[in-house]
Structure 1
């Protein structure tokens, strides 16, 4: 029951229904019998991510700490704990969290990105700021107003057998205002919404592996478009790994499999035909008739080559207008009107409609 609720929560999260997802994660934890500490840690880390989306940073920090206590190798919990600390302007503590996570898994690219980001900001914060004696005494600090919640932005994607294209509908952006970072298994997008000035972020573990070295993105007047290059030519049912977790259906290939056996044509024929034998017979007939057709073509080419301009014009016009059934070399006759079709006896000429 708890695992089913966890899956429902993941689906709600992917659909940007964060309040609903948070309630479902809480329900999954309530129904959890706590016999599998790894699973419980996973649900706590997932709820922490949901809390980050809702800007409930204290809740995210508490869930992350509890997840790490149950499973000290839960890398997502370190990532979300550090992110919660960072958003509470506790950047030095956040840096320590990312460093601790990398001590356990030095190959985690998301932790590396956040570690470098925190190192730069901590270093900049330590640099002294020059002041003057004439500076007026500042009034006592007052509580900062709570920023408005950003509008939910529904991203979408479409795909070919090689590329997944993600579209995020945000208007008025320039490319230099958008940060897109990927690893072979993760995606991170950060920018500000021009209409409100609020931060926008999109982060998740990808459902399937990509070639992150080829990732590129573009910003149009109304969209952020991100191209992810697939490692395998399979149908992506979702972008987020959480939404496909636990599903047992095998991936659906998008390209036709290569087979060693040549297809048999026509597939609708009730009697099989040896097309290789038929092809050989056609080539034999062409060889047997080559001499006759070659002589006729040679004669026509010689006539055309040795004729004057008017004769060539007569030959072209008569052959074209008669549908190839009449050759007239007398320009005085041909120039007087349209040359009629003269099919062989016993045959009827019909116009071909393409």
Structure 2
């Protein structure tokens, strides 16, 4: 494995997605390894760049098919399914997970994702629902790579205004006849924080100025290569931030700014607010929805999906959790099934035990109305033969 690929994998595991993309892109310039494409797809997905994530997953699938690697084909379909789920295309996501299961039934996290996407699919109605329409192909068309970058270097004020209106970010670099296209920004978020990375190498620390305000962020610095003075302005931010808990750190490759949300749990669709947030006056007055600081209060209740289980509707977002989305290898499916069994009602537990024992561990069902009336057959994975042993 190349040094860049190792750094990319490490950055991905540490949650430094911008650096992961940078290192993995460098590695992919030397070899189009499917594993590296899938890792970069994961990094793109976690910062909300779903198109790039899907492109990498599709490309990994094509290479895996050419090499005849069943496990890689399954992993590529699995990654495609996760990306489509992030795009709220549940019909397409479910098909990708089915294709993944065809090539590897024991793929870590696959059963969990099938349960989650099926709940989303059923909650959104019939097959005619926009989110449930199936348009995905098992073997997708090849799309050439087109790296997405934010170009901060501009030659005139008119170009700066054009860039601001297009990207929602005011960026400017001065005193340069050959501005560097490698200076750009990426951002991603968690439940409590928003992280903004300004990707610029070897910036002198004494030239960096970071101004964090309640609804804005300004970063300026001077590069050593061509002595540019670069400025990034994010104003207004999508929502209020807690200045006292926010801060930044400087590495050889970037300036990393961590902004703490005043409204934990609020998912920012964009880094900046492009238009006012609508308030529904019919159900609650604007005054009731706003606190003393003028912030809109966020309802923390997660969506609940219908189910035939006697225990009532299950909130799969709570069951799965954010970190389970891509890091299923950390605990594996066993942890998910243990949690599912622990919180189940007696009929669900009976169904799980009966289906698992009768199928010799090859099937699992939670519906007693189905399990109680039939005997489960042993259905081994492809290539495995069932043998009976004398007791």
TM over 0.5: no
Q: Select the structure that is richer in helix.
A: 1
Q: Which has the higher contact order (CA 8 A, sep 6+)?
A: 2
TM-score using structure 1 length:
0.38
TM-score using structure 2 length:
0.35
Q: For the pair shown, which has the larger CA radius of gyration, 1 or 2?
A: 1
